[in-house]
Amino acid sequence: MNLRPKSPHRRHFPRFFCWLLVLTALGAVARPASAEASHTHTAPGRVAQNLSDGWRFHLGQPEADPRAAGFDDRRWQRVSVPHNWNRIGNYDETRRSDADTTRGIGWYRLRFTAPPADGRRAYLQFDAASIIADVWLNGEKLGRHEGAFSRFRLDATDALREGDNVLAVRVDNSAPDPGSATANIVPISGDFFMYGGLYRPVSLIRVGQAHVELQDYGSAGVYERVLALDDRSARVAVRTELRNDAKRDGVFRLVTTIRDASGRAVASDRQDVSLAAGAARSVSAELSIADPRRWDGRRDPYLYRTTVELRDPSGALLDRVEQPLGLRTIRVDADKGFFLNDRHVELHGVTRHQDRLDKGWALSRNDHAEDMRLIEELGANTIRLSHYNQAQPFYDLADRHGMILWAELGLVNLTAPKGEKDMPPAMMASARRQLKELIRQNYNHPSVGFWSIGNEVTNWSSKGLTPKGGARAAMEALDRVAKAEDATRPTTLAVCCEPLPGEIDKGQERTSGSADTVGYNLYLGWYSTGHVEDAARLGDVMGGLHAEHPGLPIGVGEYGGGGAVTQHTDNVRGGKLESISRPQPEEAEAAIHELSWKALEPLDFLWGSYVWQMFDSTSDLRQEGDSSDINTKGLVTFDRKTKKDAYYFYQAAWRTDAPILHLAERHYVDRAYRTVDVRAYSNAARAELTLNDRAIGSARCADHVCVWPKVRLAMGVNRLRASAERDGRIATDAIAWTYDGPERALHVRAGTLTGVRLANGTRYGSDNYFDGGTGHTLNPFKRELYAGDGSNTNPPKKVVGTETPELYASWRAAQRFGYDLPVPDGEYRVVIHLFEPEGLKPGERVFSVTASGGETRRGIDPARLAGGTLRAATIRMTGAARNGVLRLDFAADRGEALVSAIDVLPRD
């Protein structure tokens, strides 16, 4: 980007900017007119013209040169800005037919009318363009910006004409392949799609020759810092970056005023400032506020406003910038966590990507407001802006709603191209520039609590991790940049790939400790083993990391799992999760969060913990759950229409302002089994349940989870209603389930989280009613073979000798395990489906099965019985149910006992 050199600034108080012009209702800062309107807004001394409508767009490089003012673009597509050209992500196992994942060049052209210059200077402001933007006005090149996530401005004074003008912008979101234009622009890796386009607003700013600096890394040119704060007074330093582009020296008056939320002036400073022709300088003021009211997070997000006005000797207003001011202090303790205004605050929150279904990154203010509303209703008090600088309206909302923000540099995964050790100088320059943009543009937002210098950063070769690479050196260098820009806030970074306590060190790069704090990204129960119960270890792991790093404040940067609202399981412990494949039952996601939060909640030393993630988001690396090109770990679906069960669990765990009650598994309407556990989430001590107006009873809500075990459904529609009381107020909820299966039969698909319906109509539920054993899948997803297309082993294994191979795709195995199968009392036929899945020879796996009230079959040898491995076999026996349960016991003589499916059928 072609920017003028900046004047020096002190290490402890960097320059920055936030937004410009007209104060909106969300308005912590001055900003251009809304992207939804195309008219001109005027503020004293400064004019912003919104350039949202009338654009023409062409994907790819046209044959003729579109930079020329006379270029004919009438056949180009009509678009409005914000705009991105990619379309990706849908809830279907096949990628949408209208998907567009083009990475490359797109051209934008706009004809607009400018009023007379009136001696003003003109700047084009782009709130973001992905990834590279080259800009021409009336055929004259204004400059280039590299980096997808930050605002930038270009001086358009000499190229702008009174009347008709033509603006041309070439945007390039090419993949960062070797030799490409984006090869050294961070991020060069990431599990999210890099949309292309002018996806945030564009405006034309006209301002006097003397003005607040407009080319300071996209900042507001005004920086506030709280010097001292107590109940009696606050001292605030305000530094303003000024520039005089006139051809003569001048003396100007700089007026700095702080107003409270009602608009009443509470502090003011006036200075006469000399500005040499063509020169820039910093001017500092120190103001005192009596009886200050603190910005106190969710409890009281009180905002003052700082207004800086530059006037000429006659008193005429030349420029005016307004910024938010929140009076607050923050600190982090390695043993006691996060403190806001010397008050300990448990930070529990979510991460947020900036995209949504069918809109990509081109969001409106209403979109941002809806996201904040959903997060607020959840009960969170902090948000991690993953993994890049997000739009100014969202920072404004965080200020107003009292959210603590983890604001992050878009440096993800790689600090160098794969196989290289050290960060290339051009890539380091990109990271430094984008980090300065992040900090300077958001410096005045009191909501920003942490500057993050990267996410899961390491160096990777084609064979995996590169031992002792240059990632740590790069992070330490960026940490120094962040501290030079702003020493008032702690730095942090997210770490994923270091050995955990008790694990073997395989030479992974260690970046923890290269920033003031660290957040560990840990997916226990998801990527770790694929068994949800592993999530219960999260507290022990964090305790071990705290012991290993006693002086380092640690938190949890990410945790969780995926959930598809159209995929369900009858028992989350029935089989292994497929973390980047299919299926991903909604109930498994909820269970991981239940166990994870139970483990994290008691840990007072954590400075914060962040659920990954608030909303499903785009990733062209993923074909998983019930979707294509979507990361399914959101608490809310990509379109913001459906809240998953895990959302309501956190409402119950985090909210105390109202009674919360939610009957879980509401999306699993058509039930596979008649006997079920009914679950609810609540912040009350107990909850009551009725089924079809029949009282089921009261359940204790332990760790915010209420369970009514072994509830037997009626045939047809079942209406469940629950109620709970907290602080004298009642919460209620109701759902309806259906059961249309057999009355006296049961069909279990063992070892898996999913059921199946055979061609003959027989429905098998997922593995359930077991005790002991481990679930296995015949064709598990091989992460080491992952190529981003959901591919699995090739070719897959297949069991032969059966017309129903679906019943032999998984199995449960152990030395001993059993099933308590809920069926009405009586005599039954039992069919045991099995096969030899592991290549054992006859005699190497031998076991027995006993059915209650019936017979015992001994010497079962799957390989001998079926005549080889991967061949289907069945065992038929009799049994009886007493007190509503038929018991099966499996016991091994050699190897492990196993079963792949079970049929319980009436004998008559």
Task: List, by residue number, the catalytic residues.
Answer: 456
The C-alpha atoms of residue 368 and residue 391 are separated, in whole angstroms, by 9
Token pair listed for 317: 């207003």
Number of neighbouring beta carbons within 10 Å of residue 547 = 9
Sign of CA dihedral 58, 60, 65, 67: positive
The C-alpha atoms of residue 452 and residue 640 are separated, in whole angstroms, by 27
The C-alpha atoms of residue 159 and residue 136 are separated, in whole angstroms, by 9
The C-alpha atoms of residue 578 and residue 625 are separated, in whole angstroms, by 9
The C-alpha atoms of residue 141 and residue 135 are separated, in whole angstroms, by 6
Cα-only R_g, the chain: 31
- What are the Cα distances from residue 327, in Å, to 294, 384, 802, 869? 5, 21, 72, 71
The C-alpha atoms of residue 810 and residue 777 are separated, in whole angstroms, by 4
Sheet with strand 105-114: strands edge to edge: 77-79, 55-59, 105-114, 163-172, 132-137, 140-146
**For residue 805, what are the contacts with CB-CB under 8 A and spacing of at least 6?**
798, 799, 872
The C-alpha atoms of residue 55 and residue 201 are separated, in whole angstroms, by 12
Q: Say which amino acid occupies 713.
A: L
Strand runs labelled E in 156-260: 163-172, 202-207, 210-212, 222-229, 233-244, 250-259
Displacement of CA 702 from its chain's centroid (Å): 28
Question: Half-sphere exposure of 363 toward its Cβ, with a 13 Å CA cutoff?
Answer: 21
Strand runs labelled E in 291-356: 304-311, 317-325, 330-333, 337-340, 343-345, 348-352
Residue 448, SS3 per DSSP: strand
Degrees, nearest 5: CA angle 275-277-283? 20
Token pair listed for 577: 């999760």
Q: Max Cα separation, the chain? A: 106
Q: Helix 392-401 to helix 365-378 angle, to the nearest 10 degrees?
A: 40
862 torsion bin: left (phi>0), alpha (psi -120 to 50), beta (else): alpha
The C-alpha atoms of residue 323 and residue 326 are separated, in whole angstroms, by 10
Is 353 within 8 Å of 613 (Cβ atoms)? yes
Select from 340, 325, 303 the least CA-distant residue to 444: 325
Select from 825, 842, 828 the least CA-distant residue to 876: 828
Burial class (CB in 10 A: 0-12, 13-18, 19+), 730: exposed
Select from 434, 353, 420 the least CA-distant residue to 386: 353
Token pair listed for 800: 């032969």
Whose structure tokens read 């920055």? 16
Token pair listed for 648: 């309501």
Select from 860, 382, 341 the least CA-distant residue to 607: 382
82 cis-preceded (ω within 30 degrees of 0): yes
Number of neighbouring beta carbons within 10 Å of residue 858 = 12
Sign of CA dihedral 482, 486, 492, 494: negative
387 cis-preceded (ω within 30 degrees of 0): yes
Residue 699, SS3 per DSSP: strand
Strand partners, 251: 274
